[in-house]
């Protein structure tokens, strides 16, 4: 049965690149492609990708229900917010009604983040944590985030899986990591973590290390991140039954790098442009943490130091397996982020708004 698809976050970095690539992906036939928008400019922009714009408030349950039912949407890709779960549950409830009325399999993809599978959220980091580990749901359920702020998005993953299971909706937890490279959409062309390192360094005129050991973190080029979204969609549309629910975690990453190597590569690029005084990377003291926090603007719920550590450090041993089972083939090796650091720094500096 043909699916109508809704892509959210189309003006963003990840969602914009996904929208830009869907048309040329050679996907199996589907019904309509819809894109959630919030402005008239966005509505005009998404049409270039063959998407019909839909403007509605995702926080309002009745509106979400009406929109999903009116347009017969049976696949939702959520790329808006890894933190809170209310909107995701609205979509899951609406998809459940589509299933009830049409008998179709219905699919909800939630975009989470590698932080939720890291030391910051209390995930195990003593060995590789595989994204197809059959115990991953139980592991996530038992996580106690040392940074209290991180408990909410961890629970959001669990809520999405539980609510979807309860309603017979197939859920997928898609996990981007340190994504880099130029976004290809009409909106935001830059990512998060490389931006945070650069923002903090600009403010401090130096790159600081925020951990005393040498932790590593998974990385992924934006093209490879997008390809995994597309391979998952391809499997859904072809009726290929990709793993879902408690077995439906998908990390987009060809492997990890150490933060220290990333800091060093970014420091070299920043020093070359005289944005920082020199390219040496120094362990941060409390005063440095305060300075970086001013640049990284912690939310009320997190202490400034925690927020800095969370934004540009920490340990994550989350390891991709699942995507490869779908036939996903990343083009870029993990070390490419280091080789490409100069271009990334240039891209970010050109697009930083403050």
Ligand X SMILES: NC(=O)c1ccc[n+]([C@@H]2O[C@H](COP(=O)([O-])OP(=O)(O)OC[C@H]3O[C@@H](n4cnc5c(N)ncnc54)[C@H](OP(=O)(O)O)[C@@H]3O)[C@@H](O)[C@H]2O)c1
Contacting positions for ligand X (CB under 6 A): 8-15, 36, 38, 58, 79-82, 111, 113, 176, 179, 187-188, 191-192
| Nearest residue (CB) to ligand X, 42 versus 74 | 42
Shortest gap between Cβ of 191 and ligand X (angstroms)?
4
| Residues facing residue 221 across a β-bridge | 180
Shortest gap between Cβ of 284 and ligand X (angstroms)?
22
Shortest gap between Cβ of 322 and ligand X (angstroms)?
16
* DSSP structure class, residue 4: E
| Residues facing residue 288 across a β-bridge | none
Shortest gap between Cβ of 20 and ligand X (angstroms)?
12
| Nearest residue (CB) to ligand X, 43 versus 192 | 192
Nearest to 13 by CA among 354, 349, 348: 348
Nearest to 196 by CA among 60, 298, 83: 298
Encoded tokens for 133: 């580990």
| Nearest residue (CB) to ligand X, 192 versus 237 | 192
> Which residue's CB atom is positioned nearest to ligand X?
12
Encoded tokens for 269: 């690029």
If you write DSSP's letter for every residue of 200-242 in order, what string do you get? Answer: HHHHHTSEEE--SS--EEEEEEHHHHHHHHHHHHHHHHTT---
| Nearest residue (CB) to ligand X, 80 versus 237 | 80
Shortest gap between Cβ of 90 and ligand X (angstroms)?
12
| Nearest residue (CB) to ligand X, 238 versus 301 | 301
Q: How far apart are CA 65 and CA 58, in angstroms?
A: 10
Nearest to 105 by CA among 239, 233, 272: 239
| Nearest residue (CB) to ligand X, 176 versus 291 | 176
Please name the residue that has the structure tokens 């699942």.
322
Encoded tokens for 140: 């996530």
Shortest gap between Cβ of 192 and ligand X (angstroms)?
4
Nearest to 15 by CA among 268, 192, 184, 211: 184
| Nearest residue (CB) to ligand X, 173 versus 206 | 173
Encoded tokens for 112: 């989470």
Shortest gap between Cβ of 176 and ligand X (angstroms)?
4
């Amino acid at each position: 049965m043909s699916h109508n698809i809704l892509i959210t976050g189309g003006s963003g970095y990840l969602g914009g690149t996904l929208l830009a690539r869907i048309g040329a992906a050679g996907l199996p036939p589907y019904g309509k492609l819809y894109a959630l928008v919030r402005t008239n400019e966005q509505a005009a922009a998404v049409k270039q990708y063959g998407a019909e714009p839909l403007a509605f408030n995702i926080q309002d349950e009745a509106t979400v229900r009406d929109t999903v039912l009116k347009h017969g949407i049976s696949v939702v890709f959520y790329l808006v917010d890894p933190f809170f779960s209310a909107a995701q549950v609205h979509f899951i409830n609406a998809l459940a009604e589509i299933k009830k009325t049409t008998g179709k399999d219905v699919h909800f993809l939630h975009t989470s983040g590698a932080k939720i599978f890291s030391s910051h959220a209390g995930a195990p980091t003593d060995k590789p944590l595989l994204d197809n580990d059959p115990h991953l749901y139980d592991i996530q359920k038992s996580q106690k985030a040392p940074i209290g702020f991180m408990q909410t998005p961890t629970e959001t993953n669990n809520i999405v899986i539980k609510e979807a299971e309860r309603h017979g909706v197939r859920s997928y937890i898609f996990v981007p990591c340190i994504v880099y490279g130029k976004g290809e959409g009409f909106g935001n062309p830059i990512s998060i973590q490389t931006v945070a390192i650069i923002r903090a360094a600009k403010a401090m005129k130096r790159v600081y290390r925020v951990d005393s050991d040498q932790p590593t973190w998974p990385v992924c080029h934006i093209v490879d991140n997008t390809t995994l979204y597309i391979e998952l969609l391809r499997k859904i549309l072809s009726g290929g039954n990709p793993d879902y629910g408690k077995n439906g975690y998908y990390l987009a990453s060809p492997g990890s790098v150490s933060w220290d190597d990333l800091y060093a590569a970014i420091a070299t690029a920043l020093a070359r442009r005289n944005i920082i005084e020199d390219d040496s990377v120094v362990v941060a003291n409390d005063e440095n943490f305060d300075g970086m926090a001013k640049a990284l603007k912690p939310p009320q719920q997190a202490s400034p130091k925690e927020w800095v550590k969370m934004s540009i450090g920490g340990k994550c041993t989350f390891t991709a397996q699942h995507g490869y089972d779908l036939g996903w083939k990343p083009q870029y090796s993990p070390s490419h982020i280091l080789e490409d650091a100069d271009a990334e720094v240039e891209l970010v500096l050109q697009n930083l708004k403050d």
